[in-house]
Amino acid sequence: MGMTPLEVIMELKQLKPELKNQKISYAGRLDPLARGVLLLLVGEEIKHKEKYLSLDKSYEFEAILGIETDTYDLLGLIQSLELKLVPINVNLIVNDFVNKYRGKQLQSYPPYSSKAVDGKHLFWWAKNKRLDEIAVPTREIEIFKFETVGMGEITLLKLEEKINREIALIHGDFRQNSILKRWEEFFAKYDRSEKLKTVKFNVTCSSGTYVRELVHQLGKEIGCGAVTIDILRTTIGDYSLKKSLKL
C-alpha cells in the first residue's frame, strides 16, 4: 500500500542483488491505497507485457455505506459532511446488486483514473472541475464471479485512524492536505463511537475492471453512497498472493 510500481522495483533490486542490472517493468498498477499482487517483468519478458496486462484478476474488497468521495475511495474529498441514512433493506439491495452485476457490461472509468480523453488524463479533467466538458469513456468488462462475504460495522474513530494512517503512506501530490482537512471537518460533526455499515466482497473479473467504480454504483443503487475502504488484489491470472514475494 502506498508504493508506486517504480518504488516496488527499486525495493526488489535491493532485496535481490542479482536483479540490480536487469531491466524490469510492470504489468498493471494498483490504486495508491490498494495492495496485493503486482506483476514485474524481467528482461526479455517485458516484450510480452500485453499478454500479462490482459489477464483476469481477483480482488477482496470492502465498502463503507453512507459516505461518498470524488475518487470513490478514502483518498478523495468527501462530498458531504452529512452522513446519509442506510435503508433497512440494505441486505436485499446488496444481494440484488451482486447478482445483477455478474456477466458482461459497460463500465465507466472513474473520474480519478489515468484514462486519456482529448490528450489529458481523466483525473486532470476531474481536478480542474471540467468533467462536464467531456464524455466520460466506458469499456466492456466481464465479472465472472461476484459474491458478498459479509456485512459489518466500523466506528468513526477506527475509520479516522485508518484514513490518517493510510494517507500518510502516500507519496506525491494527491491533494492529501485538502483531503485530510475535509475529513477532519466531517469527523468533528459526529461522536467517534458512532458506527457505519460495511460490506465485504470477492470478485473475479476481466482486466480493466475498476473495483472503485463498482462500489460507487453500489452506493447509487442503495441511495446512500458508498466508498471503497480496502482493496486487496489476490490473483492475476495464475499468479496468486500466496506465491508472491512479500515486500
Supply the pLDDT for residue 168.
Answer: 97
Supply the pLDDT for residue 215.
Answer: 98
Give the count of alpha carbons within 13 A of 26, CB side only: 14
Catalytically active residues, by annotation: 31
- What pLDDT, in 10s, does the model give residues 23-57? 999 999 999 999 999 999 999 999 999 999 999 99
Name the residue with cell 494498483.
30
Q: Compute the mean pLDDT over every residue in the chain, rounded to the nearest whole number.
A: 96
Give the count of alpha carbons within 13 A of 25, CB side only: 12
Q: What is the 3-state secondary structure (H, E, C) of 79-91?
A: CCCCCCCCCCCHH
Residue 193 φ/ψ, nearest 5 degrees: -85, -10
Helices 90-100 & 211-222, crossing angle to 10 degrees? 130
- What pLDDT, in 10s, does the model give residues 55-90? 999 999 999 999 999 999 999 999 999 999 999 999
Q: Which three cell numbers stand for residue 22?
A: 536487469
Calpha distance 23→42 (Å, rounded): 6
pTM: 0.95
Calpha distance 117→20 (Å, rounded): 37
